[in-house]
Structure 1
């Protein structure tokens, strides 16, 4: 039977491989430490002269070599040097002039000194930066991970896991609440974003604090700034109970944020309390960073969500508010607005005996649904994550309920995507 409430001010109303060319400009700059300083014939002579000034003896062979070098570079009309290369260890110094070249093979000792292979000139080189002309570099294949759009479950390929019922959800779980027997499971240990299912934890933490549910709360600009897509205008004043009603029944994000903001100690203390509650319930894969579920960082596995639903059913207020059909709210803009339940199993009066429910929608999470209902005369907890649409999550629930009632039984592995931790 539909439950409609009228609420006033104080009245309840998502492997590609690309061949990426390496930039020639990038490859042009090579720093060799330590390396040989590029030496022309002139500087060779100057260095040799300095060596003489420091008690170094220049032999006749040295003089002849110096003259030979001067002859090669003396003609100023010859073309400029076309290539200069310096290679650390067994360095080859080449100075090209016109069609002639003078080559001096250098051997670098372990101590770092440079010695001519023909003992022509002893030259010590100082470390320097050598700029080498650009050269053609082979195209290096680079593996690029393509950006995949859509929910996390589909990016992981969880939706491709076979199941005998043909569900559209990537994750599904049914447990008997009395015996805690698993009746159906599909990828139940994989932690995924849970969207607005988060609001069940928000409600439990609020109620655990023992706050006055009849205290008035005003929706502020801070609430509105965090959640733009909302019909709940800033300035609207409601009791804490009515705010919780909108959060659970219609999945109102501003209402959920207001519950966290008005918690003793503020939002930071509220988030800590959410995670502490999850730890107390042994929800090992769960984490919470906001009270609404708009963050994809709010995550948990289906098995841990079943634990949360089981705990939430112990709160009479949560059972009543989450299954309410609709309500009229008088908002700050001077209008009565009708809010309806986000779960079509309730609004379409499909004959389900639902004790508690919560929907969730987020691009990273897909369409989600958790509920407690009676199947074959006993309470069952059902969890669906990452279904394709609002209709398909309802269809998934109907299919699985019919399958269980007909005596079906299935246990599917988590398809190799971790244990949800």
Structure 2
């Protein structure tokens, strides 16, 4: 009898571990757009820095102002990042149409471009900030504070739950969805065509149907990602916050898509997430750890005896910092 019980426990643990979902991000929220149903959730209420996810709010406020997208904007010295000293391929003094500046801010996450958009808002930066506060209130983002247009400040803070609201609102702007889902584009700068690329390498990748995308990174926020995707016949918005590396947030996105299509996460890749994740490791079976909340049974379908997997975050070592500075 004891042998049978022991064997059943081992089988249960094995089944639970096999269906565990690895997440390198500290906060995760996936919501089905058509129904509002929460598909996956982890620390969705934690208030954290949001880095360049801010630029979706900047874009909405700029577009709400109905400014001329063909008007030339001169990139000013005040647009240069003196907080994080991030790089930019947009030179001071360049005159660029506002529409292209918006493209650079959204697709390539250029901080000078985003700063220029806020600076040239009707009434200047104070009026821009007031418009952002009104937009935040209108969207019901009650745990969100945005102080500047780029996301470089760690004082720009929100929750995954609030950011789903922001992403779903941004998805209603064709000017934003078109620009954030361009894999690359040419922009004329000082009479020279310069090619810029999307900071999200999943955009344009085979097998991905992406309707909205925005990445983010500063040290305080970790690697962040917002995407609207279609998979398994569902339209969903995902928010990933505070992953330890770009590869960790991409693997999180891959496993979310597998979940939506009913496939299992790839266990062979979990160890790699653990090595590169700064703030959180793979989700593993544990008797005492909190569960990843999910309203769908797909991850439990193959668990023998109906045993549910529980989850805990396993701390891992920090990955070495990449020497070359990059935009988020």
TM over 0.5: yes
Deviations 1:196-242 (A, max 9, x none): 00000000000001111111111111112646521110111111110
Partner of 1:324: 182
Give the TM-score normalised by structure 2.
Answer: 0.73
Q: Note the aligned Cα RMSD (angstroms).
A: 2.2
Aligned pair partner of 1:243 in 98, 101, 110: 101
Judging by fraction of residues, say which structure has more helix.
Answer: 2
Deviations 1:93-140 (A, max 9, x none): xxxxxxxxxxxxxxxxxxxxxxxxxxxxxxxxxxxxxxxxxxxxxxxx
Deviations 1:161-209 (A, max 9, x none): xx93111111111100011000000000001100000000000000001
Partner of 1:219: 75
Partner of 1:267: 125
SS in structure 2 at match of 1:285: coil
Partner of 1:342: 199
Comparing 293-302 with 218-227, greater Cα deviation is found at 218-227
SS in structure 1 at match of 2:240: strand
1:5-404 matches, within 5 Å, as 164-224=20-80, 226=82, 229-332=87-190, 335-347=192-204, 349-404=205-260
Q: Please identify runs of 4+ aligned residues in structure 1 that moved more than 3 A.
A: 225-228, 407-410
Gaps of 5+ in 1: 1-162, 416-421
Offset at 1:305?
Answer: 0.3
Tell me how many residue pairs correspond in the alignment.
Answer: 251
Partner of 1:406: 262
Offset at 1:378?
Answer: 2.2
Q: Distance in 2 between the 1:167 and 1:225 partners? A: 32
Q: Distance in 1 between the 2:87 and 2:73 partners? A: 20
Q: Distance in 1 between the 2:61 and 2:81 partners? A: 23
Partner of 2:7: none
Instruction: Flag the 1:165–1:265 CA change in 2: closer, same or farther, 3 A.
Output: same
Offset at 1:359?
Answer: 0.2
Offset at 1:316?
Answer: 0.5
Instruction: Flag the 1:180–1:253 CA change in 2: closer, same or farther, 3 A.
Output: same
Offset at 1:335?
Answer: 4.6
Structure number with greater CO (CA < 8 Å, separation at least 6) is: 2
Gaps of 5+ in 2: 1-18, 265-290, 295-309, 313-328
Q: Distance in 1 between the 2:110 and 2:254 partners? A: 26
Offset at 1:407?
Answer: 7.1
Q: Distance in 1 between the 2:167 and 2:86 partners? A: 28
Q: Distance in 2 between the 1:362 and 1:331 partners? A: 27
Instruction: Flag the 1:223–1:189 CA change in 2: closer, same or farther, 3 A.
Output: same
Greater C-alpha Rg:
1
Offset at 1:350?
Answer: 3.0
